[in-house]
Amino acid sequence: MKILVVDDDEMVRFVLTEKLAESGFSATAACDGRSAVELFHNTLFDAVLLDLKMPGMDGIETLRELRKHDPDIPVIMVTAFGDIATAVEAIKLGAYDFVEKPPQVSRIMLTLKRAIEKATLERKVRDLGKSVEESAALKQAYQKLRELDQAKNTFLSSVSHELRTPLTSIVGYADVSRKKIMKLIPEFSPDNPKNIKILHQVEANLEFLISESERLTGLIESILDLTAMEAGTAEWKWEPLSLSQVIENAAADYSQKLKGKGLEFVVAIDDDLPLIKGDRLRISQVLSHLLSNAVAFTDQGRVALRAKKEKNKILVSVSDTGRGIIASSQGLVFEKFSQLGDALTDKPKGVGLGLPICRLIAGYHGGKIDVESEPGKGSVFTLLLPVEEAMKA
């Protein structure tokens, strides 16, 4: 089995090629993306271990080039501190999995063996498909299998990276803070500006620790929520619901935040909204998420929360004058791990589970959620709740 190791760090290249050789693989190393692509064109490899962050051609660009040449090659990304945006991008481009640096040799070997096994099986299934005159049913089943496998891989990789990233930061910052304090204690003097500076650094680190811990907690809650809803095991508390009241409460919760950001906040709720049967907390969760997104992505102008009855539907909309979402990404914002930040070609915010959860909640109420947006002008998210359906729930 021939493995291509691509990394700009000689230590990583050395360890991986030596250990691969010890395990019976034939390993070739490349120190950058361009050399890797060149090698790939001249040699048949069975798998690639590819660094994500490299000078010149980075891991993502290299992955694209390699897969142009061989779309089935198993590629495992090696990254120091994987961020979700690049992680998801690489998985979408067909990377099998990620391992973090420093790379633990035994884990890499295991992942590599699994990747090769999977690629071999896929090839066998494909060959089988050919041998039975490319049976349409088999091809269809194979395609479905690939889609399911890809979805599972995307989910698992994204989740594991999202869990590890804040944990790595938490451990790192806690360790740095501990060391700073340990160093400071024997020589501490309140009059020494250097000592005060260190205390401020530790304070900033602790703030970061708290925010990363909160992010992690939020992520875990979102995953549990989403999993339970998808599996149909989530608990629902159906009751006759005054949407006006739920909307007013959400508006009250966000008015300070909007004011604090200097944004105008318009609330317009029709007087004659009928009661529906719904889950108060879940509807509040949807409104809270939509308002939170509006605050996050609007730097100036206005956010509006409106509700009205139209025929047998209640329309609740959250509109903003924010950055908007490019047309090609509007359909993706309700997909798992497709963050709004991505869709706006901006830095990701959140983990990309909020809107998929909102869509599931709307669905459980017999309704739906839509978005209309224009880049640079703003977005309108509309929650439609069919009154009759909701009453039956």
Give the nearest distance from C-beta 88 to other proteins in angstroms: 19
Residue 349 interacting with other proteins (CB under 8 A): no
Q: Which of 26, 43, 104, 211 binds other proteins (CB under 8 A)?
A: 104
Please say which residue, 55 or 193, places its beta carbon nearer to other proteins: 55
Residue 206 interacting with other proteins (CB under 8 A): no
What order do you get walking across the sheet with 264-269 strand by strand? 264-269, 302-310, 313-320, 378-386, 368-374
Residue 53 interacting with other proteins (CB under 8 A): yes
Residue 65's contacts (CB-CB under 8 Å, 6 or more residues apart) are 33, 37, 40, 57
Q: Which two structure tokens, joined as six digits, stand for 339? A: 């963050």
Q: What's the number of CA atoms in the CB half-sphere (13 Å) around residue 130?
A: 5
**Contact status, residue 155 vs residue 227, Cβ threshold 8 Å:** no
Residue 55 interacting with other proteins (CB under 8 A): yes
Cis preceding-peptide flag for 102 (omega within 30 of 0): yes
Give the nearest distance from C-beta 255 to other proteins in angstroms: 31
Q: Which of 12, 250, 316, 357 binds other proteins (CB under 8 A)?
A: 12
Q: How far is residue 70's CA from residue 3's CA, in Å, rounded to a whole number? A: 14
Give the nearest distance from C-beta 213 to other proteins in angstroms: 19
**Contact status, residue 50 vs residue 87, Cβ threshold 8 Å:** no
Residue 19 interacting with other proteins (CB under 8 A): yes
Q: Which two structure tokens, joined as six digits, stand for 240? A: 């006759």
Q: Which stretch binds other proteins (CB under 8 A): 15-23, 244-252, 303-311, 320-328?
A: 15-23
Q: CA triplet 375, 369, 366: central angle to 5 degrees? A: 170
What character string, x for contact with other proteins (CB under 8 A) and - otherwise, covers 266-285? Answer: --------------------
Give the nearest distance from C-beta 57 to other proteins in angstroms: 12
Q: Which stretch binds other proteins (CB under 8 A): 3-11, 185-193, 229-237, 268-276?
A: 3-11
Q: Which two structure tokens, joined as six digits, stand for 266? A: 């318009």
Map the footprint of other proteins across residues 162-191, applying CB under 8 A. 172, 175-176, 179
Interface positions with other proteins (CB under 8 A): 8-12, 14-15, 18-19, 53-55, 80, 101-106, 172, 175-176, 179
